[in-house]
């Protein structure tokens, strides 16, 4: 019986590609006829989703076009976070692992280190301590404190004994913490003395909790609760000694077991718990690290919140390579001081901090005098030209200019990563030139266990988020209502959809919301709009639901804010490269006139009145009052307004037939005004000058 044409084509592809797979450097080049089936675009390879469609729309990394990566190619035996840590302990036992500057008495000194072997001993004791208290396998364990060595030790203990770790964080507010504790049925919470009081204040509302462990607490200062509460409070050091005196064998998890439930703050409503398995996290890091290599001599600074997937994934990576992890003191304003003491080689951050570094350095250059400014510009341009032409820049420029700048981050940073929101191309170029290492921008989300795509080390182009993680495939789906389609010229555009072993298991106890984002073919719909630029690079250009991130990573839902400010016929526009919101306000002429009369302000026409700084200040004050009344969070307040007389209408193309604001069109329509507000804000904001 003859096989179907589709099967024959698959066999043909397989025949061509297996020869190619042998030589990973040249990828698909050995047999040119493979071009019939695979369209290569530099960093990505394009396949048709279903061979029958003939549409070349599924992009994979050129590093692994045949098979999505789900394990480390060099260590396929590592299937869980526990395996990953065991491998690290076996390989790097006496290497430095966890470092902190904070002494037991709270003072700050030089970094003191714990080795991989010591951390391994501690995690066995903590896991055994939980068993000693009768906590069953598969229980959810809450971590309610900021980054410090104990966070990772507890997390490793959870992996070794098949517990599920659930991060809790203060920025969610006490109601959200209470919600997560009950929703995930937490039986144990690790906290610090500062978060203990908050927990004890609503103990009656979290009935599933049986044990509270206070990290950094002193035994005789721990409150003893009446036995009627059914809750025990012990210090971390007490739990360590209880575990040490009754050590238990590991209960290793399987790759398909749940490793963590990561609650995302969401923009409206209650937090959603993304359920991630051991296999999800291992696949993500195995794919993401195919392009980058780290070493036991590397040092990483941990200050991004461990409650978020970006830092969690980075920690899986540091363990795999045996990297040393130094923690910040817990105060962002002292981060530069911590970096000077630690001298890290790997620095992962978010655009907000890179923007501050950029602003601080450019400001310092401008105020350093004419000669120094000229020297800086000469060095900058010479190094830029060399990098663009693929040559090695003269070391003289580093000695004269850039080494002083590098010293601000400790002097040894060789790899910088940026994520959480878009990094502007000029800041990216600036970091590459001033710090001289590799600078990579990536894109990811909690639901994909972190990295979806990232830039290749040899890619000099900026303004995009690179090519697919080898552990997933990406396609763009048409969004006709926003005029984004695969037929768009010059480049196909659409909603970014992701599939592969990195996709989460769903939202905890929420089938409905899970089905909203993952379709029946297993594609996760991200809600972000992307385009494919030349070379198979992904660029993010919009957000499907008009939810956007500020530069520091907070989500903004403009509709929610507009509802609060509705009394002002209000539209919020935001460019996510910025760290604050600005607004275009279509004013009510009668209200404006009445206000001007009451203030005794003379004006020729309403247009002149709209431009009057006093009118803008009055509207801003009114918005602030409404925002405070509605308890908006700090970053949800508008920082500048432009008043316009023209209302938003169907006629001028700024409203949909259902009277919703057409955001992309409004943003374009008022581009000049928005740009002016941001440039005024940046000159009036003193913060960037402080590094």
Token code pair at residue 669: 């329509």
Span 233-255, average pLDDT: 98
More confident of the two residues 621 and 241? 241
Domain 81-327 identical in fold to domain 548-683: no
* Measured CA distances, 79 to 305, 309, 344, 452, 691 (Å): 25, 19, 29, 20, 41
Q: pLDDT value at position 213?
A: 98
Q: pLDDT value at position 687?
A: 40
Q: pLDDT value at position 547?
A: 63
Element at 97 (helix H, strand E): strand 96-102
Dihedrals φ, ψ of 95, to 5°?
-80, 155
The angle subtended at Cα 204 by Cα 201 and Cα 206, nearest 5°, is 95
Contact 543, 558 (CB under 8 A): no
Which residue, among 501, 486, 411, has the nearest Cα to 452 in the 3D structure? 501
Confidence class for position 270, pLDDT limits 50, 70, 90: confident
Q: pLDDT value at position 28?
A: 39
Report the top-level CATH class of 548-683: alpha beta
Task: Please count the other Cβ atoms lying within 10 Å of the Cβ belonging to residue 396.
Answer: 10
Token code pair at residue 161: 């004994």
Confidence class for position 685, pLDDT limits 50, 70, 90: low
Tens of pLDDT, residue by residue over 279-332, are 999 999 999 999 899 999 999 999 999 999 999 999 999 999 999 999 999 998
Residues recorded for the chain? 691
Confidence class for position 497, pLDDT limits 50, 70, 90: very high
Ramachandran region, residue 646 (left: φ > 0; alpha: ψ -120 to 50; beta: rest): beta
Q: pLDDT value at position 660?
A: 57
Cα–Cα distance for residue pair 288/454, rounded to 1 Å: 8
Which residue bears the tokens 């984004």?
484
Asked if residue 8 has pLDDT above 80, the reply is no
* Dihedral of alpha carbons 348, 349, 355, 361, sign: negative
Confidence class for position 178, pLDDT limits 50, 70, 90: very high
Dihedrals φ, ψ of 3, to 5°?
-75, 160
Highest mean pLDDT (candidates 27-36, 526-535, 587-596):
526-535
Contact 691, 356 (CB under 8 A): yes
CATH topology for the 346-411+413-543 domain: Rossmann fold (3.40.50)
More confident of the two residues 421 and 546? 421
* Measured CA distances, 492 to 226, 498, 517, 532, 616 (Å): 64, 16, 22, 6, 41
* Measured CA distances, 77 to 73, 509, 542 (Å): 9, 31, 40
Which residue, among 616, 666, 624, 623, has the nearest Cα to 641 in the 3D structure? 616
Span 543-553, average pLDDT: 74
Token code pair at residue 222: 């721990």
Grouping H, G, I as helix, E, B as strand and the rest as coil, residue 672 is helix
| Best CATH choice for the domain 81-327 from the list 1.20.120.420, 3.40.50.12780, 3.30.70.360, 3.40.50.720 | 3.40.50.12780
Token code pair at residue 28: 């698909």
Domain spans in the chain, listed from the N-terminal domain onward: 81-327, 346-411+413-543, 548-683
Cα–Cα distance for residue pair 268/273, rounded to 1 Å: 14
Token code pair at residue 508: 């905890």
Q: Which stretch of 13-27, 124-138, 441-455 has the lowest confidence by average pLDDT? A: 13-27
* Residue percentage of the chain with pLDDT more than 90: 59
Asked if residue 491 has pLDDT above 90, the reply is yes
Which residue, among 548, 528, 552, has the nearest Cα to 540 in the 3D structure? 528
Asked if residue 418 has pLDDT above 80, the reply is yes
Q: pLDDT value at position 45?
A: 92
Span 27-47, average pLDDT: 59
Asked if residue 376 has pLDDT above 80, the reply is yes
Grouping H, G, I as helix, E, B as strand and the rest as coil, residue 383 is helix
Token code pair at residue 31: 């047999």
Confidence class for position 585, pLDDT limits 50, 70, 90: confident
E strands, 592-686, in order:
638-644
Task: Please count the other Cβ atoms lying within 10 Å of the Cβ belonging to residue 227.
Answer: 8
Q: What is the pTM of this model?
A: 0.80
Cα–Cα distance for residue pair 136/521, rounded to 1 Å: 35
Which residue, among 91, 153, 99, 95, has the nearest Cα to 128 in the 3D structure? 153
Asked if residue 261 has pLDDT above 70, the reply is yes
Element at 347 (helix H, strand E): strand 346-349
For 558, counting Cβ atoms within 10 Å of its Cβ (0-12 exposed, 13-18 middle, 19+ buried), the class is buried
Q: pLDDT value at position 567?
A: 45
Confidence class for position 560, pLDDT limits 50, 70, 90: low
The end-to-end CA distance of the chain, in Å, is 72
Dihedrals φ, ψ of 426, to 5°?
-70, -30
Task: Please count the other Cβ atoms lying within 10 Å of the Cβ belonging to residue 368.
Answer: 12
Task: Please count the other Cβ atoms lying within 10 Å of the Cβ belonging to residue 450.
Answer: 30
For 426, counting Cβ atoms within 10 Å of its Cβ (0-12 exposed, 13-18 middle, 19+ buried), the class is exposed
Average pLDDT, the chain: 87
Q: pLDDT value at position 388?
A: 86
Span 393-421, average pLDDT: 94
Cα–Cα distance for residue pair 516/159, rounded to 1 Å: 30
Asked if residue 267 has pLDDT above 60, the reply is no
Tens of pLDDT, residue by residue over 617-674, are 988 888 888 888 878 888 888 888 898 888 777 677 776 544 557 777 788 888 888 8
Confidence class for position 589, pLDDT limits 50, 70, 90: confident
Confidence class for position 22, pLDDT limits 50, 70, 90: very low
Span 599-608, average pLDDT: 88
Element at 623 (helix H, strand E): helix 613-629
């Amino acid at each position: 019986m003859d096989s179907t044409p589709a099967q024959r084509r698959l066999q043909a592809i397989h025949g061509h590609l297996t020869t190619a797979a042998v030589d990973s450097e040249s990828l698909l080049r050995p047999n040119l006829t493979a071009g019939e089936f695979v369209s290569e675009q530099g960093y990505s390879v394009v396949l048709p989703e279903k061979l029958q469609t003939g549409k070349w729309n599924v992009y994979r990394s050129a590093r692994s076009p045949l098979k999505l990566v789900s394990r480390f190619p060099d260590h396929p035996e590592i299937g869980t976070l526990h395996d990953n840590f065991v491998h690290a302990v076996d390989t790097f036992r006496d290497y430095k692992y966890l470092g902190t500057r904070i002494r037991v008495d709270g003072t700050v000194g030089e970094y003191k280190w714990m080795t991989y072997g010591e951390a391994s001993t501690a995690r066995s004791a903590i896991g055994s301590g939980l068993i000693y208290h009768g906590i069953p396998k598969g229980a959810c364990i809450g971590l309610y404190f900021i980054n410090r060595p104990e966070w990772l030790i507890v997390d490793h203990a959870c992996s070794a004994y098949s517990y599920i770790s659930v991060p809790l964080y203060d920025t969610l507010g006490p109601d959200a913490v209470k919600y997560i504790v009950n929703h995930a049925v937490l039986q144990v919470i690790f906290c610090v003395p500062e978060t203990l009081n908050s927990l004890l204040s609503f103990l009656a509302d979290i009935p599933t909790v049986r044990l509270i462990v206070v990290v950094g607490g002193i035994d005789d200062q721990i409150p003893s609760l009446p036995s009627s509460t059914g809750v025990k409070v012990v210090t971390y050091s007490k739990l360590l000694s209880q575990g040490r005196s009754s050590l238990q064998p590991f209960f290793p998890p399987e790759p398909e077991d749940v490793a963590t439930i990561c609650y995302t703050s969401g923009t409206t409503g209650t937090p959603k718990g993304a359920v991630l398995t051991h296999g999800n996290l291992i696949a993500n890091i195995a794919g993401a690290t195919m392009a980058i290599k780290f070493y036991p001599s590397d040092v990483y600074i941990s200050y991004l919140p461990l409650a978020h997937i970006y830092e969690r994934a980075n920690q899986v990576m540091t363990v795999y390579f045996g990297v040393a992890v130094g923690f910040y003191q817990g105060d962002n304003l002292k981060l530069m001081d911590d970096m000077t003491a630690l001298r890290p080689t790997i620095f992962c951050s978010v655009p907000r901090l890179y923007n501050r570094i950029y602003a601080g350095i450019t400001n310092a250059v401008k105020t350093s005098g004419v000669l120094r400014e000229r020297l800086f510009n000469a060095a900058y341009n010479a190094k830029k030209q060399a990098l663009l032409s693929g040559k090695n820049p003269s070391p003289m420029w580093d000695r004269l200019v850039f080494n002083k700048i590098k010293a601000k981050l400790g002097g040894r940073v060789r790899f910088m990563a940026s994520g959480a929101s878009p990094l502007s191309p000029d800041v990216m170029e600036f970091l590459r030139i001033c710090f001289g290492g590799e600078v990579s921008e990536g894109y990811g989300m909690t639901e994909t266990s972190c990295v979806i795509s990232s830039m290749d080390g040899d890619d000099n182009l900026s303004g995009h988020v690179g090519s697919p993680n080898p552990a997933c495939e990406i396609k763009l789906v048409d969004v006709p209502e926003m005029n984004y389609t695969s037929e768009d010229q010059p480049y196909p555009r659409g909603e970014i959809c992701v599939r592969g072993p990195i996709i989460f298991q769903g939202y905890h106890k929420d089938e409905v919301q899970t089905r909203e984002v993952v379709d029946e073919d297993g594609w996760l719909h991200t809600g972000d709009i992307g385009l494919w630029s030349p070379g198979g690079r992904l660029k993010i250009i919009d957000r499907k639901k008009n939810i956007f991130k500020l530069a520091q990573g907070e989500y903004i839902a403009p509709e929610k804010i507009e509802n609060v400010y509705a009394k002002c016929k209000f539209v919020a526009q935001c460019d996510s490269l910025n760290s604050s919101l600005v607004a275009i306000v279509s004013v009510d002429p009668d209200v404006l006139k009445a206000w001007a009369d009451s203030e005794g302000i003379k004006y020729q026409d309403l247009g002149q009145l709209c431009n009057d700084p006093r009118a803008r200040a009055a509207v801003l004050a009114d918005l602030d009052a409404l925002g405070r009344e509605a308890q908006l969070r700090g970053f949800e307040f508008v920082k500048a307004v432009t008043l316009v007389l023209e209302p938003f209408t169907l006629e001028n193309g700024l409203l949909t037939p259902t009277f919703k604001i057409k955001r992309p069109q409004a943003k374009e329509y008022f581009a000049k005004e928005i740009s002016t507000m941001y440039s005024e804000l940046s000159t009036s904001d003193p913060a960037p000058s402080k590094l």
